[in-house]
Structure 1
Amino acid sequence: MRMFLFLSLASLFLSAPSLEAQCGSKKTAHQAYKQHTERQTVAYHDNHRTHRPDLVETALANGNFKTLTTALGSAGLVSALQAKGPFTVFAPSDAAFDKLPAGTVQSLLRPENREALTAILTYHVVKGAYNAERVTRQSGAATLNGQRLPFDTASGVRVGRASVVQADIHTANGIIHVIDEVLLPSDQNLVQVAAGTGDFETLIAAAKAAQLDGLLANQGPFTVFAPTDDAFAKLPKGTVQNLLKPENRNQLAEILKYHVVKGRVFADEAVGVGSAHAVNGDDLQFRLREGRLNVNQAKIVASDVQAQNGVIHIIDRVLLPN
């Protein structure tokens, strides 16, 4: 009998979990419970956290941007402006769109004009957070369209031709500034813009003779340092006429390519970078002399002339490669 009782107790002792195992089990259970509680707490706060609206939601809630939000939908840009960002939107009010010629908005909203609508809308958006203070400290900024939007604070705060009527509407992914005009980017290519000024007849004739006019009209974006007709007239007598001869086409093309840089290089950026690689393979040097930006030995007499596929800086002499 005693032997049976002893064996039964021994069996019970051996089959029971150790004190260490019991403590470990309780500890594991406690940790699991704690982690579960923490997850529930985080989930609760996530579900009850105040949602900060993004750019599109803010515009919709405002009530003064019905045309703008409709246009964003037609252009397929809603999701782009709901991305992380940040973006700065110079947002024309409904009253600003009403200033456009009759039928303009309806025409732009047609599916066949989606590309033109997209070009206009992206001209109102700058990557980065530009609050009012930053806008007043800069001369302009490149837009998602690629073209540059000039800032002017001489009389109020102006963005292109528009005035900022309400600034610094902060959203979850950027800033909105309300403007009173719709901004229209250039829809002309580099050759068309140059031809429209009347100051580049020699340059255009040279581009055609060198068979570069198609490149400058249809490709890009490019930055063109464009010598005026007066600049070409400074060359030794007979130089231009000689270069325009068919047998000198390659030499002419090399000279013209020395005036072209791939991409858009705006004037304030040129000061910072110091140089740029021309299409012909040589480098152009940028320097400030007497408060004016120079490229090599030429003065830039007018800068940041916008084109649909690039930017033009007007210079006072012809650049000659090595």
Structure 2
Amino acid sequence: MFRSICSGIYRTTAVLFIATAPFLASCDKNGTTDPTPVTPPTSGTTTTPGTSTTATPGSNTTTVVASVSFIAQNTSLSLLNAAVLRAGLTDEINKANITIFAPTNEAFAAGGFADAAAINAAPVADLQRLLRNHIVNSRIDRSAIPTGVNTTYQTTLANSTISVYKASISDISVNNGKITQGDNPTTGSVVHLVSRLLTPATVNLTDLVKSNANLSFLAAAIARADAATQAAINATSSTGMTLFAPTNDAFKAAGYADVAAIQAASQSTISNLLLYHVLKFSAFSQTFQNGADVATAQGTTVRTNVANGKVTILGKGNGTSVANVTTADQVASNGVVHIIDRVLMP
């Protein structure tokens, strides 16, 4: 009986020893176990905007929402949210594969909309035109915008474009504003916050000139120019136009005492002079580069200079006397006007 019990004990001990062998084998001389292998942290995953969520390493997962929801949730876009609701454009703004340039509350205030009450007092049709001028019918992330080139995009407002210039990924101009927070993914689309309202124009370059009494000499010069020059100034192109507009005093300083003097001048002289004030693309003032020679519609170049936030233009025939841009970024339906205090001489 005793032998039977002992035999059972020996067998049990042997089984326990064999079962614990792997544990004993993993012990070092000090009796500690090897550390359990740890999977290193990954870089995180990004789901294509509009398909689900975006995960950022070390942070909680953020749900990608529809564009209108994104706008409603952003306190700096509360006036835009009011405008969307007032205009009844929720469905348009929630579309996939679009780009929304979203004006901040400060942009609306600078554009004459002090608060939601001002927006709700505006005609619905006007708000619809305004908002559609902030939407492009394709998704454009900041990385897709060409660098160092004035790029024009057609908006969802018929026959209206915006001009975009990227100096770097963190310095992108949209008309006379800047992208202040870019690449915000929404459901299938992207939202860029911008610092200015992108107000659509209602008149072309010539009509804009005619509406300013201080540019009546320039208006007379356009009327005096030949048909080809007038067509160039009035053209609607995919790239837009830029017109440097000398004031009446600038024309007087250049030897044109009055409108009659302009009307009496050679048509070819006036036409050549006007084309020297035209660029064949829309260039807003903050996109001008210091020391750049820019080709005009006349065929030769002007030089742009930028210092301390001020823009000056130098014509080849002006010696060292520059023209100061006194009023910049006047938007026309086919381009932009910069009022200058000197006639540019070819």
State the TM-score, normalized to the length of structure 1: 0.56
Question: Could you list the per-position Cα deviations for residues 119-173 of structure 1 after superposition, in whole angstroms to 9, with x for gaps in the alignment?
Answer: 43439x996569xxxxxxxxxx998654469xxxxxxxxx99x9xxxx8994355
Do the aligned partners of 1:255 and 1:320 also contact (CA within 8 Å) in 2?
Answer: yes
**Corresponding residue of 2:19:** none
Please list the CA deviations of residues 69-89 of structure 1 after superposition, one character each: whole Å capped at 9, or x if unmatched.
Answer: 742645x882342xxx6x652
Q: Work out whether residues 190 and 217 of structure 1, in 8 Å CA contact, stay in contact via their aligned partners in 2.
A: yes
- Offset from partner CA, 1:260-306 (integer Å, 9 cap, x none): 00111122221257121100111111123676322113222222222
Is residue 265 from structure 1 mapped to residue 283 from structure 2 by the alignment?
yes
Structure 1 equivalent of residue 95 of structure 2: 78
- 2:246 — aligned with what? 227
Q: Equivalences for 1:118-129 in 2 at 5 Å?
A: 119-122=132-135, 128=141
Q: Does 1:298 align with 2:323?
A: yes
Q: Which residue of 2 aligns with 1:274?
A: 292
**Contact kept in structure 2, 1:192 and 1:217, CA below 8 Å:** no
One of 196, 200, 208 as aligned partner of 2:211:
196
Query: Contact 1:204/1:213 (CA < 8 Å) preserved in 2?
Result: no
**Gap runs ≥5 in structure 2:** 1-46, 55-62, 109-113, 144-150, 156-160, 165-173, 315-321
Distance 1:275 1:66 in 2: 44
Query: Normalization by structure 2: what TM-score?
Result: 0.52
Q: Give distance in 1, aligned partners of 2:163 and 2:263.
A: 34
Letter in 2 for 1:314: I
For the 8 Å contact 1:120–1:184, the answer to whether it is kept is: yes
Read off the aligned partner of 2:344 and give its amino acid letter: L
**Between the two proteins, what is the percent identity of the paired residues?**
20
SS of the residue corresponding to residue 203 of structure 2 reads: coil
The alignment of Structure 1 onto Structure 2 pairs a total of residues equal to: 239
Distance 1:96-1:273 versus aligned 2 partners, 3 A rule: farther
Mapped partners of 1:292, 1:206: distance in 2 = 27
Q: Offset at 1:257?
A: 0.3
Q: Does 1:318 align with 2:343?
A: yes
- Name the counterpart of 1:89: 102
Matches within 5 A, 1:106-255: 107=125, 116=129, 119-122=132-135, 128=141, 145=155, 146-147=161-162, 170-172=184-186, 173-175=189-191, 177=193, 184-210=199-225, 211=227, 212-213=229-230, 215-217=232-234, 219-220=236-237, 221-236=240-255, 241=260, 243-245=262-264, 248-255=266-273
Query: For residues 202 and 130 of structure 2, what CA distance do their matches in structure 1 show?
Result: 11
Structure 1 residues 279 and 53: CA distance shift in structure 2, 3 A: same
The answer on whether the counterparts of 1:302 and 1:314 sit within 8 Å (CA) in structure 2 is yes
Q: 1:78 to 1:278 in 2, by over 3 A?
A: same
Please say which of residues 60-69 and 274-283 is displaced more in the overlay. 60-69
2:67 is matched with which residue?
Answer: 56
Contact 2:241/2:281 (8 A) holds in 1: yes
Residue 244 of structure 1 aligns to a residue whose secondary structure is helix
Q: Using a 3 Å threshold, how does the CA distance of structure 1 residues 148 and 50 change in structure 2: closer, same or farther?
A: closer
1:19-75 per-position Cα deviation (integer Å, ceiling 9, x unaligned): xxxxxxxxxxxxxxxxxxxxxxxxxx99x964742552634885974862742645x
| AA aligned opposite 1:318 | V
Q: Distance in 1 between matches of 2:95 and 2:90?
A: 6
In 1, the alpha carbon distance for the partners of 2:306 and 2:338 equals 15
Give the secondary-structure state (helix, strand or coil) at the position aligned to 1:271.
Answer: coil
Specify which structure has the higher proportion of helix: 1
Aligned-residue RMSD, C-alpha: 4.8
Worse overlay, 213-222 or 252-261? 213-222
